[in-house]
Amino acid sequence: MVDNQQENTRKVAMITGASSGIGKATALELARLGYSVAIGARRTEALLEVKAEIEALGGEVFLQALDVTDVASATAFVEQTMHHYGQIDVLVNNAGLAKGMSKVAEQQAEDDWQQMIETNVMGLLRMTRLVLPLMVKRNSGHIVNLGSTAGHEAYAGAAVYSATKFGVRAISAALRQELLGHAVRVTLIDPGMVETEFSLVRFSGDEERAANVYAKTTPLTAQDIADVIGFAVTRKTHVNLDDIILRPVDQASWGLVHRHS
């Protein structure tokens, strides 16, 4: 039930990991496109800043702390969004991360592996499981999964991260088959090198090491990805963009990057 007891007239987009980077940019972009948005992330203070930016644009926003690795947290987020808006038209499964660059034989503990698997795979599955039946019931909706070019080409030091993104590709493909006959779309967005907090998280806050990833290049930005997501979700409802791969011009593959002199 919607808080104001009226049917929501705007489409509603739910974005996970919306406190920064691609998630934040996507929330702002969809608000600009006229969506009401529900934003969730672990960092509530950062979410409040995103909320203020959306409201400054004249957008409508609902926020709640969200940890996609926690069943109770994910369930509460979906339930409260439904209570507030009464519907969810788009789910952007953005929450995800990479941790470390250790080779498998050199990894000293499994915590980083577990965190990537729990967030990138289980978190995405969990949010999809909770939202998808609502879309199937209405025979309308769009799931947007954030993958990576690492889901197309694995590389040394990223065995587990790549495995999670290969997994996201598999989940997205299976969902399209499972949803055949329902008017629910599934799009996979696979970016290459994007300059966000991604590398800072991967390298545990080492700013110099993170900056070196993008040094002397022109990487993609979070807004570049948000633009593509906005394009995908605003196509006619009979059009599904299955898998979108995008890289900066300075990148041909993971290990082949042009550095400007």
249, pLDDT greater than 50: yes
7, pLDDT greater than 60: no
By CB atoms closer than 10 A (0-12, 13-18, 19+), residue 91 is buried
Q: Which token pair is 177?
A: 């088959």
Residue 140: partners with Cβ closer than 8 Å, 6 or more residues away: 89, 183, 184, 237
Residues 80-128: pLDDT tens digits?
A: 999 999 999 999 999 999 888 889 999 888 999 999 999 999 999 999 9
Residues 217-243: pLDDT tens digits?
A: 899 999 999 999 999 999 999 999 999
pLDDT at residue number 203: 64
Residues 25-84: pLDDT tens digits?
A: 999 999 999 999 999 999 999 999 999 999 999 999 999 999 999 999 999 999 999 999
pTM: 0.93
Mean pLDDT calculated for residue range 134-142:
98
Q: Which domains are present in the chain?
A: 12-257 (3.40.50.720)
B/e letters for 140-171, b = 16+ CB within 10 Å, e = fewer, are bbbbbbbbbbbbbebeebbebbbbbbbbbbeb
Residues 186-220: pLDDT tens digits?
A: 999 999 999 877 666 676 666 777 677 788 889 99
Residue 257 phi/psi, 5-degree rounding, is -125, 130
157, pLDDT greater than 70: yes
pLDDT at residue number 204: 66
174, pLDDT greater than 90: yes
Q: What confidence category does residue 8 fall into, taking pLDDT thresholds of 50, 70 and 90?
A: low
Residue 9: partners with Cβ closer than 8 Å, 6 or more residues away: none
pLDDT at residue number 206: 61
pLDDT at residue number 2: 43
Active site residues: 161
pLDDT at residue number 196: 75
4, pLDDT greater than 80: no
Contact by Cβ (8 Å): 168, 145: yes
Mean pLDDT calculated for residue range 161-170:
97
Mean pLDDT calculated for residue range 3-22:
80
pLDDT at residue number 1: 37
